[in-house]
Structure 1
């Protein structure tokens, strides 16, 4: 199976699908659950406490790791904000292998098509393996903050904290406790997601500026930190998908 790179975005569903050949990622920790499918052979995920190896490997959110595969690999990432139930179900777990011949066969068929409902097919394959779907954040103040940040991220944190009648320190502590990630890292993740559709047209410096990064280097560092690949690698995969 020698297929061109493929990167499919479905941000409205909080799902992203990346197909690569002979994959070797940089160390990274995505904000969401990653399900890795070895399309022809095993996938190996190395982390601080050991490794997991199999045709299907699940990487819980925010776990630093490196991925390698000698053959083609399909990665399905479920954004933690859209799939909070999945993130919570796997909290404090390390990467682990799963066996499901039906899910693997479905994923092989989905990515081989290369076009069409790739994200939907990937979501169906994953649904048979893990609990999926949204869940309330559990604190009305943080839920309100998330709504404010979606529409007015450019406002400094003290402005949002004042609206909530809380100190900035209290907001940061609450956010980390309820969402599961420090607020600053969450903001970087959201900016990265916002940048992904813009990469299709090229112009990474323009993409960085439009997404809220200080410059192209900042975008590149953030992309590698969260995704394990450079913006150029992802842009090429997006272009292959058309």
Structure 2
């Protein structure tokens, strides 16, 4: 099978689907749970504990790894901010394999060209593997903080801290302990998510500016850091005819 690349975005429901004919990612650590489907053969994930190989490999959130596949691959990412239940259920685990020929067959069919509802089909296919959806943060102050951030531009940390009646250092520590990553990394991840629908081949500098990155190089570094691929690679998959 040699199909054009495909990148399906559904940020509001927390699903991102990338299909490619092979994979050779840079080292990265995504903010969310990645489920890697080897469509015609195994996929290999290299990580600190060694390597994991199988037709379905699950990489829990924020685990540094490299993805390798010599054949077509479908990568499904469950955004940790939407699917916190998945993040919490798999927290502390290294990458692992799942044996489910039914799920593999479903996903293989869903990423075929022209499927009318990839995002909904993928969500139904994976929700039986482990918990999905929201989960409590365990601290109302962090919920207030996320509401203040609003998913767009962040207010200065001293302003946020003052509104919460905490010190800036306390806010940073509390955020890291309850959310799971440092506040600065989280802000970069949200900025990257905002940039994804804007990705276009030949217009990455404009995308970077619209999403709030300092420049195209900043966008590229952030994309590789979280996704393992350059924004140009994702842009080609998002608009394969460009």
Q: TM-score category by the smaller chain?
A: over 0.9
Structure 1 residue ranges (4+ consecutive) displaced by more than 3 angstroms after TM superposition: none
Distance 1:96 1:160, change over 3 A: same
Q: Using the alignment, how far apart are the partners of 1:28 and 1:200 within structure 2?
A: 22
Task: Count the aligned residue pairs.
Answer: 242
Does the 8 Å contact 1:33/1:60 carry over to 2?
Answer: yes
Work out whether 1:87 is the aligned partner of 2:87.
yes
Residues 4-153 of structure 1 aligned to structure 2 (within 5 Å): 4-150=4-150, 153=153
Q: Using the alignment, how far apart are the partners of 1:153 and 1:91 within structure 2?
A: 28
Work out whether 1:210 is the aligned partner of 2:210.
yes
Unaligned 5+ runs, structure 2:
none
Q: TM-score, normalised by structure 2?
A: 0.97
Q: Measure how far apart 1:122 and its partner are.
A: 1.1
Say which structure is richer in helix. 1
Q: Using the alignment, how far apart are the partners of 2:120 and 2:71 within structure 1?
A: 24
Q: Using the alignment, how far apart are the partners of 1:77 and 1:154 within structure 2?
A: 24
Q: Measure how far apart 1:201 and its partner are.
A: 7.0
Q: Using the alignment, how far apart are the partners of 1:19 and 1:72 within structure 2?
A: 7
Distance 1:147 1:75, change over 3 A: same
Q: Using the alignment, how far apart are the partners of 2:91 and 2:102 within structure 1?
A: 26
Does the 8 Å contact 1:24/1:69 carry over to 2?
Answer: yes
Structure 1 counterpart of 2:237: 237
Q: Using the alignment, how far apart are the partners of 1:241 and 1:8 within structure 2?
A: 15
Q: Using the alignment, how far apart are the partners of 1:34 and 1:181 within structure 2?
A: 16
Does the 8 Å contact 2:201/2:236 carry over to 1?
Answer: no
